Each structure stands twice: as C-alpha cells, then as structure tokens.
Structure 1
C-alpha cells in the first residue's frame, strides 16, 4: 500500500503526459522489436529477443509505478498555502550560517524534485529540517557532510 503523494497541478499533468507517451509510443515500439526478433528464428539463442523482452519488462514496471503515483496523488490548492511557516509548495530562502551562502528552494513532492530548478523533495534532510519553521528561525540540519546551521530568511509562494 502506497502513501498519498501531494503534488502541484503542473506536476500531475507532467506525470500524465509521461504515462501517455509510454503507453502510446514506447509500448508499441517495444512490441514491434519483440516481433522482429521473434521472426529471426530460434528464441533460445536470440539476444535481441531477450533484450527486447527485458526492455518491455522495465517499461511495464515504469508504467505501473506511474499509474500508482497518479492514483495516489492529491493536488494541492496553491491559493490556500500558508507562508507563515515552511510547508510543501513554499519557496524558502535560507542562509548557511557556516559559509554565509544564501539558497532558495521550493519544497515539492518526490516526483517533482529537480535540484537544477531549485526544487527539492520534502523527503530530503534539508526540507525535513525546515518543515514547520518560521522566518528568523535557526535550524541545524544533519546532511551527509555533517550538521549544517541554517537561518530561514524568507518564505513565499
């Protein structure tokens, strides 16, 4: 049994687009590869057939995972998000008190996380350490490289 996955509307749309692509483009492509490999004769020594079957298994697993994620997703109404304390969908500006570096992250679901775009999953140590805190709060967050002190500078949408 899977837990509820809170997500933005754009994140849900992206998952649905990926699912549609996998089902309508990738699945028929792999079926064609399997048919072509099968036509080449003896399946017991046919590496092409084995590779296509393995790719099909991985694709079907990905499709099943996407369907489960979509089924368990709940869209967050962004108009009702509170910015008095850190929570999902907030944009949080934090300052590393060790080196004075200032970073801005948006807290999103695991499926929407994209570090290059400044979106971190709420399941990450930094996001977990920030959840529920307010502007001006100082927090010490345990990360793989040790404990890092942060100060929350701003919370916005």
Structure 2
C-alpha cells in the first residue's frame, strides 16, 4: 500500500522542521522543568500543576509524532522550477472573481500547508483542484459550498505579487 505524499513548498518544509526542532529541544525541557517543580510540591494525587504538565507533555509528544510522520513522507515542490504556463502546486495565481468583479490571489499548496488567511488554498479544495492545469485567460467554473463560482485566470506567477 502506497502512502499519499505530503506536498510542501520549501517554506512549508522549513516551518515544520523548525517547529519539530523547537518541540523536541525547547518545549521538552520546559515541560520537564514544570514536572520537576510540581513533583517537589509533594503529593501528586491532588497536584493540579503536575496533572497540567503531564497533559502538556502528552500533547507535545503527540504533535512531535504528527510532525515526524508528516515529514517522513514529504514531496517538496521547488517553486523556482514551476512551469508558469499552467497552474500547478506551488504556483501563485491571480484570478478575477466574475461574481464580485474583483481580483483574488491564491497560492496553490498541498493540503498540509493550507491557510486561507494567507491565501494558501489546497490543491484538493474545490477551487484549487479546478484551477490545476489551467492557463492565463481560461475561465473556470467551480461548484463550492457557497454555490457556483466563476473565475478568469489573469496571471500565474512565483511568490506574492510584486516580488
């Protein structure tokens, strides 16, 4: 059985590697110190600080395991090698929302990097998957939970606009 690759940009890979390092090195030490201090208070059966520190330790270890699993099966997209003739994962796309008549910028990323506040949409989302393979000038109709949307692809580029 083949596992699905986690698609990441180099920036996403770096962010997850830094988070993993911080959790393993800094957060583990911080939690160990909290547990040590709580143990020094005596009776552990009614020690809320000890229970809270142990819960934090469990959550930290679970996040470490999650990140390690994500990173061991990763495919990194080299944004410098992306073909800007067609939309693919790693591309930044400027589209015209035909309904609102406004320009919208998206970056197409793998599902693990999705962040709507930053305009990063998943290649697996309705809009992301509809845009894949399209070219400048193409009109894309997408069925979304908010109804049918129509976009015109205005530009395909690297980085954010103006970079």
Q: TM-score, normalised by structure 2?
A: 0.86
Q: Which residue of 2 aligns with 1:45?
A: 46
- Separation of aligned partners in 1, 2:37 and 2:124: 43
Q: Which residue of 2 aligns with 1:67?
A: 68
For 2:45, what is the secondary structure of its paired residue?
Answer: helix
* Contiguous gaps of at least 5 residues in structure 1: none
CA shift for structure 1 position 105: 1.1
CA shift for structure 1 position 34: 1.2
- Describe the superposition over 1:102-156 as per-residue Cα deviations: whole angstroms up to 9, x where unpaired: 1111112233333343322323322122112222222222223222111111112
- Please list, as runs of the form range in 1=range in 2, the aligned pairs for 1:59-138 lying within 5 A after superposition: 59-138=60-139
- Separation of aligned partners in 2, 1:8 and 1:78: 7
Q: TM-score, normalised by structure 1?
A: 0.89
Contact 2:7 2:111 (8 Å CA) reproduced: no
Q: Which residue of 2 aligns with 1:33?
A: 34
CA shift for structure 1 position 44: 1.8
Q: Which residue of 2 aligns with 1:155?
A: 156
- Separation of aligned partners in 2, 1:53 and 1:142: 46
CA shift for structure 1 position 2: 4.7
Q: Which residue of 2 aligns with 1:57?
A: 58
- Separation of aligned partners in 2, 1:146 and 1:46: 53
- Separation of aligned partners in 1, 2:53 and 2:143: 44
My pick for the range that moved more, 62-71 or 131-140, is: 131-140
For 1:126, what is the secondary structure of its paired residue?
Answer: helix
* Alignment coverage as a number of residue pairs: 157
Contact 2:130 2:142 (8 Å CA) reproduced: yes
- Separation of aligned partners in 2, 1:118 and 1:23: 30
- Separation of aligned partners in 2, 1:61 and 1:125: 30
Q: Which residue of 1 aligns with 2:6?
A: 5
* Contiguous gaps of at least 5 residues in structure 2: 159-163
